[in-house]
Structure 1
Amino acid sequence: MAIFHTSIKTFSRGKGQSAVAAAAYRGGLLLSDFVTGQQHDYRRRSGVVESFCLAPPDAPRWALDPRELWAVAEAAERRKDSTVAREFEVSLPHELSEEQRAHLAFVIADALVGRYGFAVQASIHAPGTPDGLNHHVHILATTRRIGSEGFGEKTRELDVGPSGKVQVQWIREMVAAATNAHLEAAGLTDTIDHRSLAEQARSAIERGDDLAAAALSREPTQHLGKHAAALAGKGVATDKASTNDQIAEENREHYDFLVRKAGLEGKPAPVPGHEPVKRGGRVFNAETAGLPGGLELRGVSGVRLQNLLLSSHGHTPEQAPISLAEKILDALRDVEEISRARADLAMEKIRDALRWAQRQLSSQGETSELRQWVTNAALQVRALKSLIISRARRLLNVKSATRLRHMAEQEWERFNADCPPGSTRYSRSEWTLRRGRRLSVLEKHTAELKAAQERASEGELNAIDADILAKAELLAGLPHPSVSALRIAEPKPVPPDDLGSTRSVPRGPTFH
């Protein structure tokens, strides 16, 4: 069952913490701190599935390189007690595939960058717990906004205080909405709720569902923390783990009682941890979807999550008209991203044409011909960008799947070495269950690796490369907007008739 977990913490120089060290550890990287001269090498660390950086569109190119990003972020802070980084830790549903979890992590990180204007490094981690369910992402963010000139003002709205509470609520709602949208898109019925159990219970009481309110009034378990979780992974008993086991047992007994009571009263049994979801006839709007305004899947799709939720339930969302100036700006940003990714593609002509259209719009205003040309050019630029991202994503998926398969193989070999047949560490049934679970995970990741390798085969990549070159040539051959406007506005010549005279064109009535 998917769970909700989102935590926010800060790293302070006054506590001896370093943004460079935090980024190196979470990403499994070798990073150098130019302020202290210290190197942080975590390249041999296991459990890191994928790590990537995101920054606002106008940020310098070095903001996407963790080797430079965190060194500059540290240097931008002068105080000896400065807050040097902020981290958002978010759980990722184990029910999703590796590619779906990576896309969800990208959406959440992109939403944070879009709202706060900072740069982030997102590092997806594989489960470190025995149950193999704790997939999560660490989104390490700079404490300052970043633009074309580098780092600017601090993101004070995220500090402790009234404004910080509002922002935390937005983040929790955004994470829940994005996660539920991905679960639903994957065909799963599980949902998560960002509200506390007490808040969910109050909501159930307000709608008159006493059984659900009783089920939601269960006692929450305690957070283990990384040290207790590590000990639990080694089979070492701890006080917190024992307390959680006792709480879970009491909650199960309470739930069994509610099930029996519901059966006697002829009512449906409550589902622990979830409020009843009425799929039929439910109206999804901005409030019920829990999606803050402005959140969107930027990059490849440009689809708003709210519209995705609405359209998936038969509702047609209202499309906010986009101005021509915004279309041109979006196309120019896409052109810049394409140029950075593929320097071999000639993008100067389309870039100059878009800038001419931008100047024409400012001086002469919008015309139907100009809008038609910009719309066509923007669509072709976006199609080219999508192809480039698709190719890169296929290669990243192979790298990610290889890493996961290797970790699953190591876990399988470790279990067989530590717990051979006849071992007294577990009972026969428990040993069979644990061994079968690890074999199932290994087989799953082996199949995922094979599928990823097929999608990134030489033939597949060559086909995408051919499409990329064809799209680039199509863009290069696109007529300049000034020429297109003249062609559209220019009247068509009237062909002569058989006698060589010009055909007479019927004229409409004249109004006096």
Structure 2
Amino acid sequence: MAIYHMQAKVVSRGSGRSAVAASAYMSCSRMYNDYDGIQHDYTRKQGLIYQEVMLPPMASSEWNDREQLWNAVEETEKTKDSRLAKEFVVALPVELDKDSNISLLQDFIKKNFVDMGMCADFAIHDTDGHNPHAHILLTVRPLNENGTWQHKTEKEYLCIKDGEEKGFTASEFKTAQKQGWEKQYRYKVEKKKEYLTSSAAQEKGYERIDKHPKSSRYGRQNPISEQWNSDEQLCIWRANWADAVNEMLARNQINATIDHRSFADQGIIEQPTIHEGYIAQNMEKKGMIADRCEINRQIRADNKMLRELKAKVAKLAEAVEKSIPIIAETLEAIRNHMIFTQYHLLHNEMQKK
């Protein structure tokens, strides 16, 4: 049956990964990384069903070759902990055929990623015919109209004017300087080090000890990158994937739907299973017991017991509901009988007197 699964990950040098290696793995190909001189060969990997690169209009046509695309990304990112790409892994409905799943992915990727300016590299895997899923690798640095990369963050100088501190980028500071804003530098003030403007420090004869002006810690993030990386945008993509899958299922007249919301948000009190992964599943096929599969077996057993208890409670509630009128009628009859008996006893007492 169709299930909802969308996992978002970041491909970062800080975690020891590379965009070239990630692309080579999912496309089952051999690719050379110019940045570190390592060749990644996954040509013997099984299960590749389909692969494609989708580009926005401003991207270079040479990037239809994924090796050139991801080497361009690796070349642009300079630091040892650079974020190179964003990766999504999504489960595809087993009810759909290959062409429908390809069409589903192409439409979803174009509307949600490529139209926003990202380059997308995706592949469909299914090793055993029962677990179709797709890997989607996306660029994280926006493109200019001429096809050059934009900055992800820009240095932001913390400037002072009339006691107020405000941040400006290098281009913004040219205008701000004419309005009286000044950069702050570190000066030696007696035995302390303080940030002051040049004009204030010159009046008191302080000595500058650092040529770098005061700036914000992480700089000014590109608003496009900020949107792409936001939790709000991730929630939108998760909901859009569910909508796209449900629309394709309905178009193929398949009576099934998926829901991106958690069990709690759906009002379901059952415990969700965890993602097992191909390593755990392969262990089980070889007769070994994988911890993650064992956890899921326990969860399914607990959920089955919970469903049985709920059914018993519902049956008991139904029985009680049907019994209430009978109990009420019986109590009313006893009450009438008691009233009659009390009246009869009272009448007998009065006759004795």
TM-score normalised over the length of structure 1: 0.46
The 5 Å alignment of 1:43-62 reads 43-62=43-62
Instruction: Return the alpha-carbon distance in structure 1 between the equivalents of residues 151 and 236 of structure 2.
Output: 21
Corresponding residue number in structure 2 for 1:444? none
What is the deviation of 1:169?
0.5
The answer (yes or no) to whether the contact 2:120–2:138 under 8 Å persists in 1 is: yes
The answer (yes or no) to whether the contact 1:56–1:113 under 8 Å persists in 2 is: no
Say which one has the larger Rg: 2
Paired letter, 1:234: K
Higher RCO (CA < 8 A, seq sep 6+): 2
Instruction: Return the alpha-carbon distance in structure 2 between the equivalents of residues 19 and 35 of structure 1.
Output: 11
The 5 Å alignment of 1:298-313 reads none
Paired letter, 2:135: H
Q: 1:25 to 1:248 in 2, by over 3 A?
A: same
Q: 1:263 to 1:63 in 2, by over 3 A?
A: farther
Given candidates 247, 253, 256, the residue that maps to 2:305 is 253
**1:111-147, CA deviations, whole angstroms, 9 ceiling, x for partnerless residues?**
232453110101101145xxx4321110001111235
Structure 2 residue 279 is matched with structure 1 residue 227: yes
Gapped regions of structure 2 (runs ≥ 5)? 153-224, 319-353
Corresponding residue number in structure 2 for 1:150? 148
The answer (yes or no) to whether the contact 1:119–1:145 under 8 Å persists in 2 is: no
Q: Which of the pair is proportionally richer in helix?
A: 1
Corresponding residue number in structure 2 for 1:134? 131
The answer (yes or no) to whether the contact 2:56–2:115 under 8 Å persists in 1 is: no
The answer (yes or no) to whether the contact 2:4–2:258 under 8 Å persists in 1 is: yes
The answer (yes or no) to whether the contact 1:119–1:142 under 8 Å persists in 2 is: yes
Corresponding residue number in structure 1 for 2:322? none
Instruction: Return the alpha-carbon distance in structure 2 between the equivalents of residues 127 and 183 of structure 1.
Output: 23
Corresponding residue number in structure 1 for 2:10? 10
Structure 2 residue 267 is matched with structure 1 residue 197: no
What is the deviation of 1:6?
0.6
Paired letter, 2:22: A
**1:24-60, CA deviations, whole angstroms, 9 ceiling, x for partnerless residues?**
0011111111112221111221111111001112321
The answer (yes or no) to whether the contact 1:54–1:113 under 8 Å persists in 2 is: no
Q: What is the DSSP-based 3-state SS (H/G/I as helix, E as strand, rest coil) of the residue aligned with 2:142?
A: strand
Corresponding residue number in structure 1 for 2:219? none
Structure 2 residue 74 is matched with structure 1 residue 74: yes
Paired letter, 1:172: R
The answer (yes or no) to whether the contact 1:94–1:134 under 8 Å persists in 2 is: yes
Q: 1:256 to 1:133 in 2, by over 3 A?
A: farther
What is the deviation of 1:195?
0.3
Q: What is the DSSP-based 3-state SS (H/G/I as helix, E as strand, rest coil) of the residue aligned with 1:49?
A: strand
Given candidates 172, 187, 208, the residue that maps to 2:253 is 187
Instruction: Return the alpha-carbon distance in structure 2 between the equivalents of residues 89 and 6 of structure 1.
Output: 6
Percent identity reads 34
Instruction: Return the alpha-carbon distance in structure 1 between the equivalents of residues 262 and 62 of structure 2.
Output: 40
**1:470-503, CA deviations, whole angstroms, 9 ceiling, x for partnerless residues?**
xxxxxxxxxxxxxxxxxxxxxxxxxxxxxxxxxx
Instruction: Return the alpha-carbon distance in structure 2 between the equivalents of residues 175 and 153 of structure 1.
Output: 29
Structure 2 residue 22 is matched with structure 1 residue 22: yes
The answer (yes or no) to whether the contact 1:60–1:148 under 8 Å persists in 2 is: no
Q: What is the DSSP-based 3-state SS (H/G/I as helix, E as strand, rest coil) of the residue aligned with 2:149?
A: strand
Given candidates 251, 271, 293, the residue that maps to 1:241 is 293
Corresponding residue number in structure 1 for 2:345? none
RMSD between aligned residues: 2.1
What is the deviation of 1:12?
1.1
Q: 1:253 to 1:116 in 2, by over 3 A?
A: same
Corresponding residue number in structure 1 for 2:241? 175
Q: What is the DSSP-based 3-state SS (H/G/I as helix, E as strand, rest coil) of the residue aligned with 2:150?
A: strand
Instruction: Return the alpha-carbon distance in structure 2 between the equivalents of residues 248 and 242 of structure 1.
Output: 10
Corresponding residue number in structure 2 for 1:106? 106
The answer (yes or no) to whether the contact 1:12–1:81 under 8 Å persists in 2 is: yes
What is the deviation of 1:221?
1.8
Paired residues in the alignment total: 246
The answer (yes or no) to whether the contact 1:120–1:141 under 8 Å persists in 2 is: yes
Instruction: Return the alpha-carbon distance in structure 2 between the equivalents of residues 191 and 177 of structure 1.
Output: 9
Given candidates 263, 267, 270, the residue that maps to 1:218 is 270
Corresponding residue number in structure 2 for 1:494? none
Paired letter, 2:131: N
**1:364-414, CA deviations, whole angstroms, 9 ceiling, x for partnerless residues?**
xxxxxxxxxxxxxxxxxxxxxxxxxxxxxxxxxxxxxxxxxxxxxxxxxxx
**1:331-361, CA deviations, whole angstroms, 9 ceiling, x for partnerless residues?**
xxxxxxxxxxxxxxxxxxxxxxxxxxxxxxx
The answer (yes or no) to whether the contact 1:231–1:238 under 8 Å persists in 2 is: yes
Q: What is the DSSP-based 3-state SS (H/G/I as helix, E as strand, rest coil) of the residue aligned with 2:21?
A: helix
Corresponding residue number in structure 2 for 1:363? none
The answer (yes or no) to whether the contact 2:46–2:127 under 8 Å persists in 1 is: no
Q: Which of the pair is proportionally richer in strand?
A: 2
**1:268-305, CA deviations, whole angstroms, 9 ceiling, x for partnerless residues?**
xxxxxxxxxxxxxxxxxxxxxxxxxxxxxxxxxxxxxx
Corresponding residue number in structure 2 for 1:85? 85
The answer (yes or no) to whether the contact 2:114–2:120 under 8 Å persists in 1 is: no
Corresponding residue number in structure 2 for 1:277? none
**1:229-281, CA deviations, whole angstroms, 9 ceiling, x for partnerless residues?**
33234332022221210110121222234345556767xxxxxxxxxxxxxxx
Q: 1:167 to 1:233 in 2, by over 3 A?
A: farther
Corresponding residue number in structure 2 for 1:165? 231
